[in-house]
Amino acid sequence: MKSHANVRSAMRKFELRPENTAELIFYPLDNPISVAIISIKKSLSSASATISNERGFQAPFVLYNNTTMTRISVYIDNSNVFKNIKTIKCIDRSWVQLYNPLKLAEKLAGKNELVSVYFYCVPPPPWLLAESEESKKKHATASKYYAAIGKLPKVEVKYGYLQGDKKDPHEKNIDTQLGIDMVTHAALGQYDTAILVSNDGDYISAIENTKKFGKRIEILFFKGYLAGSLKRGCDLTRRARKSFFEPLNFSK
């Protein structure tokens, strides 16, 4: 075995098996070297081990099992999403505001295991019911939309509330509730990766505390709106695309 670098490059060809032996294929591919794995300590996604070959070379490595799917939880700040899409629709009206959060989460999770989706919103304000027929229709549409989301598998709707009157309303307990949930679920080991759908820089504390539990953080953001603190704090950023937001079919 020529060097540690050769071993590291070969790890891409390694596959964890029930027995304590495996075969590492080195480059060029016609030079296979059988090795023994000792002191193996397996987990769901990796194993710490020492490898050795017939020439007496030994080295410690962490061996990753690429066949294990990552458990994904998606946290959607719908108040933030709704405002961003509303702004985008001024330029491109084909974007969907009443989207399907489960379809969005599935696209973000990819081939990994989607374990849960949390959708944070505020109920429609009651003063809409005392106004025009159009306002009453908006109230009814929003109520039916949230009710339909609550019936989707793996999706839980989490409500905040509005404070103040219609001239100066303020949404409360959205970012606080989301941040607490993300950290609590990390502490309970409910996921491996959290995907946050929001541009709000107020989530940086929640991200920092979540990562203390060894969790990975990804963010879906809208172009031109990502807070710098979020970009620095997460492991991966992805820009929101129109194709991610499919309409949710429900009776309006």
Residue-wise pLDDT for 147-195, tens only, equals 999 999 999 999 999 887 777 788 899 999 999 999 999 999 999 999 9
Q: How many CB atoms lie within 10 A of CB 12?
A: 11
- CATH 3.40.50.1010 domain locations along the chain: 71-244
What's the predicted TM-score (pTM) here? 0.73
Q: In the prediction, which pLDDT does 17 show?
A: 38
Tell which residue, 16, 46, 53, has the closest CA to residue 32: 53
Q: How confident is the model at residue 68 (pLDDT cuts 50, 70, 90)?
A: low
Residue 109 pLDDT exceeds 90: yes
Q: Per-residue pLDDT averaged across 35-42, rounded?
A: 40
More confident residue, 14 or 110: 110
For the chain, the distance separating the N- and C-terminal CA atoms, rounded to the nearest angstrom, is 68
Of the candidate ranges 14-23, 96-105, 118-127, 180-189, the one whose mean pLDDT is the lowest: 14-23
Q: How confident is the model at residue 225 (pLDDT cuts 50, 70, 90)?
A: confident
| Average pLDDT along the chain | 80
The CA distance from 199 to 84, in Å, is 9
The CA distance from 161 to 172, in Å, is 5
Side chain identity, residue 18: P
Residue 238 pLDDT exceeds 90: yes
Query: Which H/E stretch holds residue 133?
Result: helix 133-150
Q: Per-residue pLDDT averaged across 68-74, rounded?
A: 90
Q: In the prediction, which pLDDT does 86 show?
A: 94
Q: In the prediction, which pLDDT does 182 show?
A: 98
* Protein fold of 71-244: Rossmann fold (3.40.50)
Instruction: Give the contacts of 139 (CB within 8 A, at least 6 positions apart).
Output: 124, 125, 126, 128, 129
